[in-house]
Amino acid sequence: MSSSELEIQKAADGQKEQQVPAGAEITGAKEPEADTNTSTKADQDFAAAEQYKNQGNAMLKTKEFSKAIDMYTKAIELHPNSAIYYANRSLAHLRQESFGYALQDGVSAVKADPAYLKGYYRRAAAHMSLGKFKQALCDFEFVAKCRPNDKDAKLKFTECNKIVKMRAFERAIAVDKPEKTLSEMYRDMENITIEDDYKGPQLEDGKVTLKFMKELMEHYKGQKRLHRKFAYKILCEIDAYMRAQPSLVDITVPDEEKFTICGDIHGQFYDLMNIFEINGLPSEKNPYLFNGDFVDRGSFSVECIFTLFGFKLLYPNHFFLSRGNHESINMNQMYGFTGEVTAKYTSAMADIFTQVFNWLPLCHCINQKILVMHGGLFSTDNVTLDNIRRIERNCQPPEEGLMCELLWSDPQLWMGRGPSKRGVGIQFGPDVTETFCKNNNLDYIIRSHEVKDMGYEVAHNGQCITVFSAPNYCDTMGNMGAFITITGNNLKPNYKSFEAVPHPDVKPMAYANSLMNWLA
């Protein structure tokens, strides 16, 4: 018997007395066997740790994830050998999208008790969230072998195996060929017939107009679809436009004129409509910048992206879009956008979005004083705006480097740099922000990427501002959304917070990969 088989046998033996369904919530821990040498203090520590764990479980159920993490951390400090404490904290980190921390706790849970299979699920969930499907498959395979009669464990392994094989097939059939525009690739789309019973908005001579945009938004509010002919046409036009844009777009806001910066939308179409209701429709006199993560999680991502693309075509010099970490194939396949596009249109259109997203600019510089990116700053101090301008962005986000860090990094309260809580990018402190701004003659940076209670947060002595525009994120977080306004001659940021509005009864993640819903 090999060493891996011995490990499986050991884990399986340990599970004979502990058959916990894969999706069950953990509410109790098995107390260590009595030891005549165990001190009273050890007993007290364990009892206190259990109390902290129970409090953490209660907070997890009420979606107070930060508080739950604090409780589990206190439990671990008192009783550091409990796999359950690590696994529960891993789940809280997953809910906060801190995938790097979730992975660390999943690893710790497995080390603390190799027979505790929930630890393998947590580790697999973190690996999948990071797009590391082969590593996740190893854990699913391990659990399936330990539980040969568990249909749920077998199903998770089967589904993950499908993803791994699909990725391998996509790589195998990929060939190097000259890059073509969407218009060149989909010329036959011009011949798509518009059915007689279609009563929705139509492009005028193939162009987006204000009338079209107003009709499109009302059409979407009624949960109707834009005809595929016009959807393809918008994608072809956006593809052609974005190819000509630089990786860093310079924006000039004239004196006295207002400019609005919005953060993540994440497929929350009705909240996007509320932003326009509060702040006015985009126009040449009311310009906007949307700072990435337009899609995924929310189940109206198609409506969001065509609305945003439509306004970009209507007002190309007064409406701006930055790429976020969710404008990527890994995120889209896992968190719902690919599934939604396929359900509402076709899988071929989902592939087209992948190509279009590759050409989205990575950041914007407003009046040479404010740099706006989705994620954050860099692992070195010598990065200049010209370095950013030279980034070759027509690709999927890499796992390291300037492009990765622009899309994934987060600020931290303490000085210096640290590993990312997400497992991708870095964390950067106030000194890093100050140095970057000084070196590039900037006043401050604006980024998004993180849920904030009021929809925004000012950090790093006012030089790092986070804006997040998806209120009650995923219908669970209870946060407000926000947007920022400035004027050309007064770059002081003004903040407007707003609450979520009702939406049709389609739950977030409705189109997401089934494994992500199971693992949550």
Tell me if 402 sits within 8 A of 377, measured CB to CB. Answer: no
Three-state secondary structure call for residue 271: helix
CA-based torsion, 107, 108, 111, 116: positive or negative: negative
Would you give the end-to-end CA distance of the chain in angstroms? Answer: 35
Rg of the chain in Å (alpha carbons)? 25
Give kind and range of the element (H or E) at residue 320.
strand 319-321
Q: What is d(CA 116, CA 103) in angstroms, rounded to the nearest whole number?
A: 16
Catalytic status, residue 326: yes
Only one residue has tokens 């109206």, namely: 300
Q: What is d(CA 422, CA 408) in angstroms, rounded to the nearest whole number?
A: 8
Q: Which of 326, 374, 449, 460 is catalytic?
A: 326
Residue from 141, 150, 18 nearest 87 by CA: 18
Q: Centre a 10 Å sphere on the Cβ of residue 387 and count the other Cβ atoms it contains.
A: 15
At 53, list the tokens.
């764990």
Q: Where are the beta strands (DSSP E) in 420-510?
A: 426-428, 444-447, 456-459, 464-467, 481-487, 490-498
Q: Checking DSSP bridges between strand 490-498 and strand 481-487, what pairing results, if any?
A: antiparallel
Please spell the DSSP secondary structure of 71-118, one letter per residue: HHHHHHHH-TT-HHHHHHHHHHHHHTT-HHHHHHHHHHHHHH-TT-TH
Residue from 267, 271, 264, 265 nearest 499 by CA: 271
Residue 518 class from Cβ within 10 Å (0-12 exposed, 13-18 middle, 19+ buried)? middle
Q: What is d(CA 113, CA 93) in angstroms, rounded to the nearest whole number?
A: 20
Q: What is the amino acid identity at position 329?
A: I
Q: Can you give the three-state secondary structure of 141-189, one letter per residue?
A: HHHHHHCCCCHHHHHHHHHHHHHHHHHHHHHHHCCCCCCCCHHHHCHHH
Residue 294 has φ and ψ, to the nearest 5°, of -75, -25
Three-state secondary structure call for residue 446: strand
Only one residue has tokens 């669970």, namely: 476
Residue 487's beta-bridge partner residues? 258, 490
Q: What is d(CA 510, CA 297) in angstroms, rounded to the nearest whole number?
A: 8
At 296, list the tokens.
């995924």
Residue 153's beta-bridge partner residues? none
As annotated, the active-site residues are 326
